[in-house]
Structure 1
Amino acid sequence: MSDFYYFMIEGHEKPFGYVHSSFIAAMMPWSNLWSLNHKKRFLTLHSFPNDVQSRTNAMQTTLRSAYNNGTVSYWANELFPIYSSTGGHILDMDGCGVDPFGIVSYAVHMIAYVTTKGNEIETRKFWVPRRSKTKMSYPGMLDNTVGGSLRSGERPIDCIVREAAEEGGVPEEYTREHVKACGTLSYQMDRTDDGKEGRQHQVQYLYEMEVPEGFVPKPCDGEVEEFMLMGIEEVVGALRRGEFKLNCGMTWMSYLVRHGIVDAENEERLVEICARMHRKLDLFVV
């Protein structure tokens, strides 16, 4: 943790994220909305008055400055929430700040499949998208059928319905009727989505959905180059070759464990794998 500062918010004892020292340096001098304690490695947000909207305004002002000076490379124009360790809504921030501030973010991911029957044996094939080569993060890599981050105030079920329509052209009514919740993943990674040093902490809400044989997902928002129908052996092969976006590989591993394709008989690291996919994301000062 020597390369990180703790993202603190005035009035709260626990950190809300871990900020890499390179981001700290790039934003110097920090405005009077913030205080820096180099000894404790605290970066603390202050706001007056001390309420959700004021904290949101202070964060948005900081992120707009980071965008204008090139420290962050894009402006998401979507607000994402920050919660306290007890679940309280503390502030909202533009999505461009999720990685630099190393906060816990929340997302939905769905695997859609077609059931085919041959010789009285049912098999599943999966709709796997290839990310657009113009995507900032992981261009051209394989992904989950649909997925995305929860906006502030959005429920997971509403998010997956929205993402299925936006990314795959799935009618909202169909998703609401057929999608099945399959638990969660929680994990941390030591790099940001654009490959920089940092910390990612994310909770994924997982879903599966069967679609009819004649249905073909349609890329609607420019984020997907193509959808491919793949058998489970093809999916596993692509996972082994590292062709999936990193966090999507975990979503697929969760599917393989959930359906008994990966088990204690064929994977000696099963316990460790499952533990790493269900981290307790309780940030603390070391």
Structure 2
Amino acid sequence: MSETLPTPPFTNLQLVEQVDSWPYFTKDPDAYRRHMQNYYYFLIDGYDKPFGYVHKRFISGISWPKYWKLDHNKRFLTLTTGSNLKTRTHLLDETLRKAYDSPNGTLLGHWANEQFPLYSSTGEHVLDLDGYGVDMLGIVNFSVHLTAWVMTAEGIKIWVPRRAWTKMSFPGMLDNTVGGSLATGEKPIDGMVRECEEEICLDPAYTRSHIKACGTLSFQLTVDDMLNPGCQHQVQYVYEMELGQDAVPRIGDGEVGELHLLSLEELTNAMRNGEVKLTCNMTCLAFFIRRGYITADNEPDIIEICSRLHRYHDLFIA
């Protein structure tokens, strides 16, 4: 019997469950193992823990070069060659470009022309890869996200962009004020300042002097950015900023189609109606909790919600 999916209006917990949808091993080990039958473990020779979980559709849809070893019984996908960062990076680039040029190239989306880091469980920088392969390999990806707000006579209002209709993922949906992935070697604050300038035309000096760091959020999805079966381990470095009258956002690099100034109630209704990009719901909920809009008095599931806004990414072989 298939599970009945929730329909709008969503509760806050249902919004979280749609994003942090990967099962928890400690809650039901057998169900977790059944779930993992659809995934292969992405391994690299010399490291004892997996780096990601690869959905089986990618295994069958890609021609893997000879320096990869596939063990279909254990569901291991292992990079067997490369003793240093430069070599491993070259091999991943070669693998991904071959996949991109194949008839199934669109299986992974588009070539990003941005390099993202891959770290071991001990924090070692193991290789870099184009964003084209991040969702495929199910690795941990790091991003920066800003909630920009103004204080009005009616209370706090948030600058909420609508994604351009030309975006490959979630076109036309509401988004965080600013957001983007961190490139290799980029510090979170530098990435945030860059994104603010590119997306909403904020002066870097203004951003640096007004922005406030608010920690991190983390969660694990069972879909890729196109909502196909996959795995995403996401970590958000979260920021907020109160904007004055002298800093009105403007549409910048084409990522944004429209900009709206929404009350907390208007944004909440949009979230509950499914109008907001999935992962952005997590950023918004965290902001509402920090600002005391969601509390233990008005949200019975606040403990579960807070817990699942901060998932620990522990990759292991079940």
Task: Give me the TM-score of the superposition, normalised by structure 2.
Answer: 0.86
Within 5 A, what are the aligned runs for 1:19-168? 19-28=54-63, 30-48=64-82, 50-69=83-102, 70=105, 71-116=107-152, 118=153, 123-168=155-200
2:51 is aligned with 1:16: yes
User: CA offsets, 1:109-133, max 9 Å, x none?
Assistant: 00001122x4xxx722111000001
One-letter identity of the residue aligned with 1:179? I
Task: Confirm or deny: 8 A CA contact 1:130 1:141 kept in the other structure.
Answer: yes
Task: Confirm or deny: 8 A CA contact 1:115 1:213 kept in the other structure.
Answer: no
In 2, Cα distance between equivalents of 1:15 and 1:73: 23
In 1, Cα distance between equivalents of 2:223 and 2:75: 20
Deviation at 1:47, TM superposition (A): 2.4
User: CA offsets, 1:20-42, max 9 Å, x none?
Assistant: 111000113x2112001111110
In 1, Cα distance between equivalents of 2:110 and 2:199: 20
Within 5 A, what are the aligned runs for 1:150-189? 150-189=182-221
Percent sequence identity is 54
One-letter identity of the residue aligned with 1:17? G
User: CA offsets, 1:65-84, max 9 Å, x none?
Assistant: 11111132310000000000
| Structure 2 counterpart of 1:247 | 279
Stretches of structure 2 that go unaligned for 5 or more consecutive residues are 1-35
Q: Tell me the secondary structure at the aligned position of residue 66 of structure 2.
A: coil
Q: Give the direction of change, closer, same or farther, for the CA distance of 1:105–1:199 in structure 2 (3 Å limit).
A: same
Task: Confirm or deny: 8 A CA contact 1:146 1:164 kept in the other structure.
Answer: yes
In 2, Cα distance between equivalents of 1:124 and 1:3: 44
Task: Confirm or deny: 8 A CA contact 2:70 2:77 kept in the other structure.
Answer: yes
Q: Tell me the secondary structure at the aligned position of residue 100 of structure 1.
A: helix
Q: Tell me the secondary structure at the aligned position of residue 186 of structure 2.
A: coil
Q: Which moved more, 1:146-155 or 1:209-218?
A: 209-218
Q: Which moved more, 1:105-114 or 1:66-75?
A: 66-75
Q: Which has the higher helix share?
A: 2
Deviation at 1:102, TM superposition (A): 0.2
In 1, Cα distance between equivalents of 2:185 and 2:235: 16
Within 5 A, what are the aligned runs for 1:190-209? 190-209=222-241
Q: Tell me the secondary structure at the aligned position of residue 136 of structure 2.
A: coil
Structure 1 residue ranges (4+ consecutive) displaced by more than 6 angstroms after TM superposition = none
CA RMSD of aligned residues (A): 1.0
2:290 is aligned with 1:285: no
Deviation at 1:225, TM superposition (A): 0.3
Task: Confirm or deny: 8 A CA contact 1:46 1:55 kept in the other structure.
Answer: no
Task: Confirm or deny: 8 A CA contact 2:69 2:78 kept in the other structure.
Answer: yes
In 2, Cα distance between equivalents of 1:192 and 1:219: 27
Aligned length: 280
Task: Confirm or deny: 8 A CA contact 2:202 2:247 kept in the other structure.
Answer: no
In 1, Cα distance between equivalents of 2:109 and 2:146: 28
In 2, Cα distance between equivalents of 1:264 and 1:145: 26
One-letter identity of the residue aligned with 1:4? Y
Deviation at 1:284, TM superposition (A): 0.5
| Structure 2 counterpart of 1:212 | 244
One-letter identity of the residue aligned with 2:48? E
User: CA offsets, 1:124-176, max 9 Å, x none?
Assistant: 21110000011000000000000100000000000000000011100111111
Q: Tell me the secondary structure at the aligned position of residue 108 of structure 2.
A: coil
In 1, Cα distance between equivalents of 2:217 and 2:93: 29
Give the structure, 1 or 2, with the largest relative contact order (CA under 8 Å, sep 6 or more). Answer: 2
Task: Confirm or deny: 8 A CA contact 1:23 1:100 kept in the other structure.
Answer: yes
